[in-house]
């Protein structure tokens, strides 16, 4: 039976962050994830390493921690962050002094994350920046935040943990906890496609986000969260170059944000009582978001939404508060102190933006319990690809690949992009652009299969944004399936199954936003896959 110092359960941003931290301290770590990296909240958020602007009044500690740690994240993974300038429209002249003061206070914290100080704008200036904004918007204030690809952030933490010696076990579910006769935790029982196995561990770290209550009940400990569902919409292109902070019909705050090659609009925030593994978006939620955005950008009702997606916030439990007013603070649960159960620690709440700090706190506790005095290094050591700056122009000339493709590759992989481009020396056909929307070269897909645990088209999408652009996989899915099948020496049937799984996930996101013309186009699209591509044969066997 394998034995570890620590088994970390869940490869979201907290689980991967903690696994990295503990592995860098020299502990023997195993990270276990039932699906892929960032399959929960960490892959379904707004992707903002923000400073916690809206928590300033009622949760100033969250604002301070978010800003401080955003500064560290910029240092360790500079290639994966991009600045998002924000405009916050104000309708009432009376409110200007309040906002001026609010942002003056925020500027002090924003400095910790290299934020720009705020500016007040009049209507003429606002119109210059966002020409299609509603005429009702007469005043505005600016601020800025940082955007990130959260899926790659988790993956890079996982890669770093692995190179420090951690075992990474994806598509492996923790089905139960091993206990001694006193009920203390001494390991976990896991299941993957090859069967069940027991992993012994001196400590188990629960970082299962929205699944915390489910896994905790198996461990015999209590972690109470108030799961909150959040829905986003993705538009097919950048509708604007500045993000707008908006107010929804119920007064909640929302965002319309250019994000990479698209625009995202979000988010809802509702208590969620359902199964975290069966999360669906309703048409009402789509209407609510569009209604909120249209007040500021009336044209948005004519823009094309390509998909809707949802995630669950693993927020700390509180009674009697509206979802929006719940604290975004976090808690590390020392179950030995709380319930007298040894061998297990849990983490809940918090933000993507402060994941590193939260991970450090959890790792400090575990290290102390295991008698390790090694210190945290995650704010000092770069994540893979962050070791040095690279020149996109030089890469483009050296390898004969268009600079716009190199640009996206460097955004995702940092200096490791060179290892990807090296693959094209031996096999020049790998220069082919498989996904034109992002774009993604065949070489990047091969690299992810060889170095980043990708085994399916969905894994490739999570690592490269394959099929997440305007065409939603229509032009790239078949080509990518061919690259996958060749690299992994797959049977045609396995490759087709991977293709069908990839398409079904895409369609789950498309369904709630299809209407009129887009519905007909989607029907034609599906007919092509099922009738011409013969995928209907596979459905019969499912």
**Footprint on this chain of ligand FAD (rule: CB under 6 A):** 9-15, 32-35, 39-42, 44-48, 50, 173-174, 207-211, 215, 230, 267, 311-314, 350-353
Q: Say if residues 205 and 215 touch (Cβ distance below 8 Å).
A: no
The residues near 98 (Cβ < 8 Å, ≥ 6 apart) are: none
Q: How many CB atoms lie within 10 A of CB 337?
A: 10
Which two tokens mark 424? 């094209």
Interior angle at CA 462, CA 459 and CA 467, nearest 5? 95
The residues near 308 (Cβ < 8 Å, ≥ 6 apart) are: 231, 232, 233, 234, 281, 285, 286, 509, 512, 513
Burial code of 355-391, b = ≥16 C-beta within 10 A, e = fewer? bbbbbbbbbbbbbebeebeeebebbeebbbbbeeebe
Least distance to ligand FAD, CB of residue 403, Å: 30
Least distance to ligand FAD, CB of residue 441, Å: 28
Least distance to ligand FAD, CB of residue 413, Å: 22
Positive or negative CA dihedral for 38, 44, 50, 53?
negative
Which two tokens mark 277? 């593994």
In the complex with ligand FAD, which residue's Cβ is closer, 66 or 433? 66
In the complex with ligand FAD, which residue's Cβ is closer, 59 or 392? 59
- DSSP 8-class letter at 194: T
In 3D space, the residue among 413, 379, 452 whose CA is nearest the CA of residue 24 turns out to be: 379
Least distance to ligand FAD, CB of residue 208, Å: 4
Least distance to ligand FAD, CB of residue 519, Å: 26
Least distance to ligand FAD, CB of residue 304, Å: 22
In the complex with ligand FAD, which residue's Cβ is closer, 289 or 442? 289
User: Could you tell me whether strands 440-441 and 433-435 are parallel, antiparallel, or unpaired per DSSP bridges?
Assistant: antiparallel
In the complex with ligand FAD, which residue's Cβ is closer, 33 or 444? 33
Least distance to ligand FAD, CB of residue 308, Å: 12
- End-to-end CA separation in angstroms for the chain: 35
In the complex with ligand FAD, which residue's Cβ is closer, 19 or 460? 19
In the complex with ligand FAD, which residue's Cβ is closer, 120 or 253? 253
In the complex with ligand FAD, which residue's Cβ is closer, 45 or 468? 45
How many residues would you count in the chain?
Answer: 542
Least distance to ligand FAD, CB of residue 12, Å: 2
Least distance to ligand FAD, CB of residue 512, Å: 15
The SS3 call for residue 332 is: strand
In the complex with ligand FAD, which residue's Cβ is closer, 349 or 469? 349
**CA-to-CA distance for 502 and 519, rounded, in angstroms?**
19
In the complex with ligand FAD, which residue's Cβ is closer, 53 or 495? 53
In the complex with ligand FAD, which residue's Cβ is closer, 475 or 505? 505
Q: Is residue 427 classed exposed, middle or buried when 0-12, 13-18 and 19+ CB atoms within 10 A define those classes? A: exposed
Least distance to ligand FAD, CB of residue 215, Å: 5
Which two tokens mark 14? 């907290």
In 3D space, the residue among 241, 266, 264, 262 whose CA is nearest the CA of residue 253 turns out to be: 266
Least distance to ligand FAD, CB of residue 51, Å: 10
Preceding omega of 439 cis (within 30 degrees of 0): yes
In the complex with ligand FAD, which residue's Cβ is closer, 121 or 352? 352
To which residue do tokens 């950008």 refer?
Answer: 297
């Amino acid at each position: 039976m394998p034995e570890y110092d620590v088994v970390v359960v869940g490869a979201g941003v907290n689980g991967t962050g903690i696994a990295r931290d503990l592995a860098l301290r020299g502990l023997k770590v195993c990270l276990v994830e039932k699906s892929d990296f960032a399959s929960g909240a960490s892959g379904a958020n707004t992707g903002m390493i923000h400073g916690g602007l809206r928590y300033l009044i009622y949760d100033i500690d969250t604002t301070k921690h978010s800003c401080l740690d955003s500064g560290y994240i910029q240092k360790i993974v500079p290639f994966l962050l991009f600045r998002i300038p924000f405009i916050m429209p104000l309708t009432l002249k009376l409110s200007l002094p309040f906002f001026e003061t609010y942002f003056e206070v925020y500027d002090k914290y924003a400095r910790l994350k290299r934020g720009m100080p705020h500016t007040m704008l009049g209507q003429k200036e606002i119109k210059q920046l966002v020409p299609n904004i509603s005429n009702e918007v007469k005043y505005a204030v600016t601020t800025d935040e940082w955007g990130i690809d959260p899926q790659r952030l988790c993956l890079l933490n996982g890669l770093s943990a692995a190179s420090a010696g951690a075992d990474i076990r994806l598509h492996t579910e923790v089905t139960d906890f091993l206990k001694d006769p006193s009920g203390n935790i001494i390991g976990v029982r896991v299941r993957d496609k090859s069967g069940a196995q027991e992993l012994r561990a001196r400590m188990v770290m629960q970082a299962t986000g929205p699944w915390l209550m489910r896994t905790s009940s198996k461990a015999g400990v209590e972690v109470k969260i108030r799961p909150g569902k959040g829905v986003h919409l993705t538009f097919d292109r950048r509708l604007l170059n500045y993000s707008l902070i908006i107010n929804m019909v119920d007064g909640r705050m929302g965002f319309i944000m250019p994000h990479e090659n698209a625009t995202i609009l979000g988010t809802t925030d509702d208590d969620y009582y359902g199964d975290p593994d069966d999360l669906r978006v309703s048409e009402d939620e789509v209407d609510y978001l569009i209604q909120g955005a249209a007040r500021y950008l009336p044209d948005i009702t004519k823009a094309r939404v390509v998909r809707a997606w949802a995630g669950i916030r693993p927020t700390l439990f509180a009674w009697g508060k509206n979802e929006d007013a719940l604290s975004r603070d976090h808690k590390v649960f020392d179950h030995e102190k709380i319930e007298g159960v040894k061998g297990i620690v849990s983490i809940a709440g918090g933000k993507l933006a402060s994941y590193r700090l939260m991970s450090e706190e959890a790792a400090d506790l575990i290290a102390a319990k295991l008698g390790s005095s090694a210190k945290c290094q995650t704010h000092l050591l770069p994540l893979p690809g962050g070791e040095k700056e690279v020149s996109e122009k030089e890469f483009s000339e050296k390898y004969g690949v268009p600079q716009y493709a190199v640009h996206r590759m460097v955004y995702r992989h940092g200096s490791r992009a060179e290892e990807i481009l090296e693959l094209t020396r031996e096999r020049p056909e790998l220069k082919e652009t498989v996904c034109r929307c992002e774009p993604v070269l065949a070489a990047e897909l091969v690299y992810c299969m060889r170095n980043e645990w990708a085994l399916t088209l969905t894994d490739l999408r999570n690592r490269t944004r394959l099929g997440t652009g305007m065409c939603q996989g229509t032009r790239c899915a078949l080509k990518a399936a061919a690259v996958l099948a060749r690299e992994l020496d797959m049977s045609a049937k396995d490759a087709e199954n991977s293709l069908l799984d990839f398409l079904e996930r895409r369609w789950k996101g498309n369904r709630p936003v299809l209407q009129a013309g887009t519905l007909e186009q989607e029907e034609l699209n599906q007919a092509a896959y099922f009738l011409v591509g013969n995928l209907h044969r596979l459905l019969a066997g499912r």
